[in-house]
Structure 1
Amino acid sequence: MVYLFDIKMAMIIFPFVALLITFPVLLWHYHRFGAVSRWSILMLYSFIFYLMCAYFLIILPLPSVAEVAKLTTPKYNLQPLMFVRQFIKYSPLQVTNIHTWIATIKSPTVIQPLFNVFLTIPFGFYLRAYFRKSWRQTLLMAFCLSLFFELTQLSGDYGFYPRPYRLFDVDDLLLNTTGGIVGFWLTGWVLPLLPTSEHITERLQIQSRQVSTFRHATALVVDLISLAMVNSGLLIFASLARLTVESVAQPIALFALILVILLPQLAWHQTLGMRLVHLKVTTVGGELAPTKAIITRWLIGYSMFILPAVIGSIAAVIDHTSILYSILGAVMFIYVAIVIIVFGLDLMIDLFRPSHALLFERWSKTRLQSSYA
């Protein structure tokens, strides 16, 4: 039941970990392959979930610091094959008595060594099936994983506890490493059933020519992060220059939009985000988009940011108690609300209709085309 609790904890925390790594994973796949392999994503996320389960199994349940401080149990065992001697000494097994066999299987002298072997069998599977490692590499990496687990225990969870509450055991190193190798060899039986590297590469080459919504969104997220960083840097610079941040915030935001989004497209037909996922701005016919089309695309596509920045710049220099200031605020609010609704509906349509062109693409007569070679 303790093992089930550890796995449940991994299941609770895993969605948050998955959320944190999703964007970097998508970005890496689009940059490396121009597309995302569903098989690779499945293997990667399941591998991370497995590692979380394994880690929780070796540290949970966490005792209190006071309980650990009172422990007088040994901190480590440096004698190899101690589990064999314990089996011989404490196991109820009598080979000639069949009634002792089940009790033997249930005894700690069998369960604990088997647990340490089974703990790393999946690790061997992933190393061979997903990471394509050799048996020598698997042997070394399984040993390193086991050593990490044992050092975690020996350090009292990296110094959080005054002493170890679990035993550092060289037998665990031996058994965990054995489990990794067992997993490696067992994987050979199922490899013919799994997608080959050649098949995955062929599929990725086909998908790399397509511009999916997620690929587009990944580029957009990179650009928005870059935009936020540049905007923040300029605001800090303005503050250091003793400028009133409130009066320059909107002009700076507009300047950052031009610097991060518009100028790179005019110069290279790519923003940083587009470059990382291998996209470029073209006409409907596939030629590089002309300057007018790029500016139109920028004005419409980022209008939710551009118009508020312009209105905010005007509002910063007029009397905040005037009617004009209130009108500008109302106009900006209504405009942003309309844009969010229209662009939101347009995006929902795009999610379910891959051939659908977004509004700002239709109006500017531009498209995003794959530049992956």
Structure 2
Amino acid sequence: MSDPGVSALLAFIGGTALAALLVVPYIAWSYRKRGRFGPGHAVLAFGMLVYALALWTYTLLPVPDTTPEWCARNAVRVPQLDPLRFIADFQEERIGSGLGATLRNPALQQVVFNVALFVPMGMFGRHMLHRGLPTVIAMGALTSLFIEFTQLTAVWGLFACPYRLFDVDDLIANTAGAAIGYALAPLLRVVPGQRVEAPPGEPRPVTTGRRLLGMAVDVVSVTLLGGLLSVAANALWIYGFGAVTAPQHLHWLLNYALPVGLLLLVVPLAGNGATFGQRVVLINPVGPDGGKPGIGRMLVRFAVGSGGYFTLDALGLGLPAVALLLVSAVAAGWTRGHRGLSGAAAGLRLVDTRAANARTSLVAEDRRPAPEESP
């Protein structure tokens, strides 16, 4: 067993990194699945992600240097296939009597750990995935079996020899832990921010939090896309052309021009006028006539909003860029209809996309020719 502190830290770091990559798709999914973004759901989803990585770190780490010499001395080649063998191990490793000695028994600690390791799976399986008891038990058993075979096969042949024991008692304890977790799942209901007040398709008000979330999605999406494009370009230049790094002007194009132009200009102009972040949180900007904003208004919004922030940042004007970002965030709460600084400058209003779609459908319905009456 690896150091629990190190395994937990690695799982948290890995979960945080994955969450940063998955946060935008998760927000988009949440708005379309539940009609809103619930912070309680997000906290539990993050916990489930960290837990999934913890299963890997706790069961496979630390990875030894499986040299032939190490394998000759330490390889675990014979699986433990005797059910409930841990009872005999408990008696063999028992030193002293009393509750304290019992709690310090390594055999008992191993069983308790293996049960506890799968309790979150049962809780998440019932509360987050809405699965019944048979399915949750099957999830626990199959996941445990996969882990045990991974250990038996030296991580499916990636290492020279098995360095962990295939133990049928671990399979039993893990499955029991999943069942116990199913019973404890109602405790997750106390996490605040999970309440869904209306059906997913029903429009909601455009609030300050929703505006700020859309702005944050724009900034995060542009940053992530620019970073991924730069990494891909560097890999191409290093491994394809043998250069140390990609040219500086290419970094500017990939870090700024392309992601900003695509997400903050092309997406609004080609769509309903919403930036990528606004589309994620189902916000629709409309002009004075209630329709899609004109090109001029969208360019003004771009210059005063996120586009202006990234332009100032690309020009090396970090302080003005941060100032614009802060003013925009404050204006999202103080302006009428939460249209923010850019919306006010461009003369735009913000509505829920579901309300805008419903209104468009009604207008289209009204414009249909009436059916001819039969004689």
Aligned counterpart, 1:103 = 101
1 CA distance for matches of 2:158 and 2:175? 27
Q: 2:147: which partner in 1? A: 149
Counterpart-to-counterpart distance in 1, 2:131 and 2:12: 27
- Measure the CA separation in 2 of the matches of 1:341 and 1:275: 29
Distance 1:171 1:31, change over 3 A: same
What is the deviation of 1:69?
4.9
Question: For the structure 1 residues 282 and 111, does the alpha-carbon distance in structure 2 shift closer, same or farther, using more than 3 Å as the test?
Answer: same
- From the superposition, tell whether residues 63 and 40 of structure 1 become closer, same or farther in structure 2 (CA, over 3 Å): same
**Cα 1:346/1:32, change in 2 over 3 Å:** farther
Q: CA deviation at 1:76?
A: 1.7
Which moved further from structure 2: 264-273 or 151-160? 264-273
**2:25 corresponds to 1:6:** no
Cα distance, 1:181 vs structure 2: 0.3
The residue number in structure 2 matching 1:115 is 113
Partner residue of 2:126? 128
Deviations 1:120-155 (CA, angstroms, capped at 9, x unpaired): 112212222333221112111111221232132123
1:187 alignment partner in structure 2: 185
- Structure 2 residue ranges without an equivalent (≥5): 234-248, 356-375
Cα displacement (A) at 1:302: 7.5
| Separation in structure 2 between the aligned mates of residue 15 and residue 122 of structure 1, nearest angstrom | 18
The aligned amino acid for 1:90 is: E
1:335-350 equivalences under 5 Å are 336=315, 341-350=319-328
Measured at CA, do residues 284 and 120 of structure 1 come closer, stay the same or move farther in structure 2, by a change above 3 Å? farther
Q: Name the CA distance, whole Å, in 1 between partners of 2:7 and 2:108.
A: 21
Q: Which residue number in structure 2 is paired with residue 328 of structure 1? A: none
Gaps of 5+ in 1: 234-245, 309-332
Paired with 1:110 and 1:63, the residues of 2 have a C-alpha distance of 25
Q: Tell me the secondary structure at the aligned position of residue 351 of structure 2.
A: strand
Question: 1:202, 1:27 → 2: CA distance?
Answer: 17
> Are the structure 2 counterparts of residues 128 and 69 from structure 1 closer, same or farther at C-alpha, using a change threshold of 3 Å?
same
Corresponding residue SS for 2:196: helix
Partner Cα distance (1:19, 1:229) in 2: 13
Contact 2:286 2:349 in 1 (8 A): yes
Partner of residue 164, structure 2: 166
Aligned in 2, Cα 1:82/1:367: closer, same or farther, shift over 3 Å?
A: same
- Seen in structure 2, the aligned counterparts of structure 1 residues 91 and 104 have a Cα distance that, compared at 3 Å, is farther
Quick one: structure 1 residues 46 and 207, their matched pair in 2 at CA, closer, same or farther if it must change by over 3 Å? farther
Partner SS, residue 129 of structure 2: coil
What residue in structure 2 maps to residue 237 of structure 1?
none
Using the size of structure 2 for normalisation, the TM-score is 0.68
Cα pair 2:136 2:179 within 8 Å, conserved: yes
RMSD over aligned Cα atoms: 4.4
Alpha-carbon separation, structure 1, partners of 2:109 and 2:281: 49
Contact 1:30/1:278 (8 A) holds in 2: yes
Query: Per-residue deviation at 1:280?
Result: 2.3
Aligned match for 1:297, one of 294, 301, 314 = 301
2:154 and 2:160 in contact (8 A); partners too: yes
1:143 and 1:173 in contact (8 A); partners too:
yes
